[in-house]
């Protein structure tokens, strides 16, 4: 999307102003049982009428409970009922039990929901989860490529379909709310969350906000600016992390983003305008700061710009213990953190454990008139609006009718297509020699080597089963490693030898036609994944050198960002950036062997040395190893061009 369309979107939102509504003073709380005849229970009533009716019946304690989001661990039905908890989440790796199946997830969510429905007013809770590349907390779910690879595809329709597939798998487990998409503009690959960013370029990220329509459904023209969730197979989405999270100094997570107005509103903000146009239900505040002001306490940007100027009517949610980080050290003055975040415009607080301190602290601040009741009513109005839009009041409980959608073949086929389109061919042949790719399927003997060639956990990266990711293949009964994909692709007569870490002497004893070397980064997520050197972990470099100096070799690099590769580039015959492809390794093999051609173009600049960072296209003295938009192409040797329809 260019600047002209961006301006039109901006003008659209400037005409929409958020209305702050509140309960009328003096309204008495209705008696238990009267809720059955209340207007808020009537789906024929307009949403705003239902909100006002319910808000007028709520006590301060019930309102504050709606603003609290707790982690499912150690949460009980009594806590939900006694504190009127409005939302629950699963953090990374938090599941009903180890290797939980889909039925276990449904049962858990329904048990919590039943507790919420037994409260005085029967307000359903909303359950949220980080489904950032598929339903990645759930065993055997379809794991799509991370955003860093999807940006390469330049295919918003594909990403929209991925959103729809993800929504269906999330809903199958009884969950109506996904903390996705991440629309950060990663300007420095040293950031450990860079793989959650589609691109360094805001135009690509704006295009990829089409995923919101996949997650939530396509917004009606008269609903722009409103939270919008269409039907039982869609989820409420969450654009994150507002705003500037990808521009921190040295790519350090939760750090300060130093930016002028042109950079903030011209680079980091545009994708949020697109997200609002698509009716995104919620927005998550960033841990990071803008010019020294913590986003969780930034009233100008949370309330002044997002709510008042742009007219956003959904709710703003904090990040995990996000309000704690307002002070340093974290949680050192929690009363101030509550006050600063709520007054700034945070509506729902991801506590996630310390609920009594938050709830009691917020109630006390309201009673002391430090936080006005109008601010509480605004927050609860927004939360209720999303709950009504999601259909929770009409359908709070779920059944097993969608469980066969989790990891279904249709979704895996879509993921395989996404893998193919996300691959970038960076090198294909040495000077004066013919291209190496596509590889012949009928070779006599080939070697598949490397730490990442037979490891689904490494293929998927962070935010898979666990927060920081996992290693190995035992966590899923589904999915295909790159090794197994190669074995399934080559001729039956071709001998495939696998070695995780072959030494120099190994090649002297064997005669291979060629080698496919698959190495890269080990899984990580934010903070732990921050890196100032961006090197390939050992033994990756040695495997490249040993194989590529001995025989013809193709290197497939698994990583969440560009890494240091220049020292080894000359030894390689071909180099493929596969990013973090997810569960469907067959998509890599499809392109290596020519069933499909390479089409991907870099959505990130590939640096030569880390001391060049940050470096993005358009910068002065731009001197990359591979520039933004680079990608060699090959033609398929066979035709497989059918699109996957959802």
Rounded Cα distance, 117 and 98, in Å: 27
- For residue 385, which of 179, 239, 229, 272 has the smallest C-alpha distance? 229
Indicate the length of the chain as a whole number. 646
pLDDT of 13 above 80 = no
The answer to whether residues 375 and 452 belong to one domain is no
Q: Could you tell me if residue 255 is inside a domain?
A: yes
Q: CATH no. for residue 275?
A: 3.20.20.300
CA end-to-end span of the chain, whole Å?
A: 25
The answer to whether residues 384 and 418 belong to one domain is no
Please give the order of strands across the beta sheet that includes 177-178: 177-178, 126-129, 87-90, 68-71, 349-350
The answer to whether residues 373 and 245 belong to one domain is yes
pLDDT of 141 above 50 = yes
Catalytic residue among 62, 526, 573, 584: 526
Q: Could you tell me if residue 294 is inside a domain?
A: yes
DSSP 439-466: PPTT-SEEEEESTTTT-HHHHH-SSBSB
> Which secondary-structure segment (H or E) carries 177?
strand 177-178
pLDDT grade for 276, boundaries at 50, 70 and 90:
very high
What's the number of domains the chain is made of? 2
The answer to whether residues 499 and 380 belong to one domain is no
pLDDT of 446 above 50 = yes
Catalytic residue among 254, 319, 378, 466: 319
Q: What is the per-residue pLDDT for 509?
A: 84
Q: What is the per-residue pLDDT for 105?
A: 98
Q: What is the per-residue pLDDT for 510?
A: 87
Q: CATH no. for residue 510?
A: 3.40.50.1700
Rounded Cα distance, 571 and 568, in Å: 6
The model's pLDDT over 425-435, given as tens digits with 9 standing for 90+, comes to 999 999 999 99
Q: What is the per-residue pLDDT for 19?
A: 28
The answer to whether residues 378 and 444 belong to one domain is no
Q: Could you tell me if residue 640 is inside a domain?
A: no
The answer to whether residues 155 and 197 belong to one domain is yes
Q: The domain containing residue 381 runs over which residues? A: 3-12+47-57+102-108+126-325+340-347+367-395
Rounded Cα distance, 523 and 458, in Å: 6
Tell me if residue 513 is catalytic.
Answer: no
Q: Could you tell me if residue 362 is inside a domain?
A: no
The answer to whether residues 255 and 168 belong to one domain is yes
pLDDT of 12 above 80 = no
- For residue 316, which of 357, 354, 344, 277 has the smallest C-alpha distance? 344
The answer to whether residues 451 and 563 belong to one domain is yes
The model's pLDDT over 337-347, given as tens digits with 9 standing for 90+, comes to 999 999 999 99
Residues 298-302: what's their mean pLDDT?
A: 98
Torsion of CA 41, 45, 46, 51, to 10 degrees: -30
Say if pTM beats, i.e. exceeds, 0.75: yes
The SS3 assignment for 14 reads helix
The answer to whether residues 391 and 419 belong to one domain is no
The answer to whether residues 443 and 514 belong to one domain is yes
DSSP 236-282: B-EEEEETTGGG-GGG-TT-EE---HHHIIIIISHHHHHHHHTT--E
Average pLDDT of the chain, as a whole number: 93
Q: Does a cis peptide bond (omega within 30 degrees of 0) precede residue 479?
A: no
The answer to whether residues 429 and 502 belong to one domain is yes
Contacts for 431 with CB less than 8 Å, ≥ 6 apart: none
Beta strands in 389-513 (DSSP E): 424-428, 445-449, 495-499
Sign of CA dihedral 452, 453, 459, 465: negative
The model's pLDDT over 605-618, given as tens digits with 9 standing for 90+, comes to 999 999 999 999 99
The model's pLDDT over 315-361, given as tens digits with 9 standing for 90+, comes to 999 999 999 999 999 999 999 999 999 999 999 999 999 999 999 99
The answer to whether residues 391 and 429 belong to one domain is no
Contacts for 453 with CB less than 8 Å, ≥ 6 apart: 481, 482, 483, 498, 500, 516, 517, 518, 556
């Amino acid at each position: 999307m260019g600047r002209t369309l961006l301006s039109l979107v901006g003008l659209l939102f400037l005409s929409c102003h958020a209305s702050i509504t509140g309960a009328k003073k003096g309204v008495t709380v209705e008696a238990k049982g009267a809720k059955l005849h209340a207007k808020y229970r009537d789906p024929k009533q307009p949403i705003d009428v239902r909100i006002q009716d319910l808000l007028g019946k709520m006590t301060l304690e019930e309102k504050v409970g709606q603003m609290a989001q707790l982690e499912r661990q150690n949460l009980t039905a009594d806590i939900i009922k006694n504190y009127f908890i409005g939302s629950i989440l699963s953090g990374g790796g938090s599941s009903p039990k180890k290797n939980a199946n889909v039925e276990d997830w449904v049962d858990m969510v329904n048990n919590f929901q039943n507790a919420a429905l037994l409260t005085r007013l029967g307000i359903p809770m909303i359950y949220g989860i980080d489904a950032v590349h598929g339903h990645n907390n759930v065993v055997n779910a379809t794991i799509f490529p991370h955003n860093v690879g999807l940006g390469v595809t330049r295919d918003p329709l594909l990403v929209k379909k991925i959103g729809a597939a993800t929504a269906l798998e999330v809903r199958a487990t009884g969950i109506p709310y996904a903390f996705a998409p991440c629309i950060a503009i990663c300007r420095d690959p040293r950031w450990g969350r860079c793989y959650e960013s589609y691109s360094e370029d805001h135009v690509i990220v704006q295009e990829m906000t089409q995923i919101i329509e996949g997650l939530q459904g396509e917004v009606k023209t008269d609903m722009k600016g409103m939270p919008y969730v269409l039907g039982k197979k869609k989820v409420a989405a969450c654009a994150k992390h507002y705003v500037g999270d990808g521009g921190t100094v040295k790519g350090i997570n939760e750090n300060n983003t130093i930016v002028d107005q042109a950079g903030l509103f011209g680079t980091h903000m545009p994708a949020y305008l697109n997200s609002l146009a698509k009716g995104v239900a919620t927005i998550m505040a960033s841990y990071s700061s803008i010019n020294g002001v913590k986003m969780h306490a930034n009233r100008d940007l949370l309330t002044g710009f997002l709510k008042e100027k742009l007219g956003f009517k959904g709710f703003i949610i904090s990040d995990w213990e996000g309000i704690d980080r307002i002070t340093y050290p974290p949680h050192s003055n929690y009363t101030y953190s509550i006050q600063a975040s709520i007054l700034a415009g945070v509506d729902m607080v991801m506590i996630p454990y310390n609920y009594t301190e938050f709830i009691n602290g917020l109630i006390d601040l309201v009673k002391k008139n430090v936080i006005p009741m109008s601010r509480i009513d605004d927050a609860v109005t927004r939360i209720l609006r999303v709950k009504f839009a999601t259909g929770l009041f009409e359908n709070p409980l779920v059944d097993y009718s969608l469980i066969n959608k989790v990891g279904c073949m249709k979704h895996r086929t879509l993921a395989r297509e996404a893998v193919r389109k996300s691959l970038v061919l960076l090198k294909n042949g040495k000077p004066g020699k013919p291209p190496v790719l596509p590889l012949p399927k009928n070779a006599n003997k080939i070697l598949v080597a490397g730490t990442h060639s037979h490891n689904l956990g490494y293929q998927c990266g962070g935010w898979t089963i666990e927060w920081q990711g996992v290693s190995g293949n035992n966590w899923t009964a589904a999915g295909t490693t790159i090794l197994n994909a190669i074995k399934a692709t080559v001729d039956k007569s071709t001998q495939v030898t696998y070695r995780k870490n072959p030494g120099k002497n190994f090649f002297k004893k064997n005669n291979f036609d060629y080698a496919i070397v698959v190495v890269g980064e080990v899984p990580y997520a934010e903070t732990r994944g921050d890196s100032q050197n961006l090197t390939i972990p050992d033994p990756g470099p040695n495997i490249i050198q040993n194989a590529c100096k001995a025989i013809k070799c193709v290197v497939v690099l698994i990583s969440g960002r560009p890494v240091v590769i220049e020292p080894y580039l000359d030894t390689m015959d071909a180099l493929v950036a596969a990013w973090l492809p997810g569960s469907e390794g067959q998509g890599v093999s499809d392109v290596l062997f020519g069933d499909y051609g390479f089409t991907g173009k870099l959505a990130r600049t590939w640096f030569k040395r880390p001391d060049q960072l940050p470096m993005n296209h358009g910068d002065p003295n731009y001197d990359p190893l591979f520039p933004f938009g680079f990608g060699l192409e090959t033609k398929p040797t066979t035709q497989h061009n059918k699109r996957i329809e959802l």
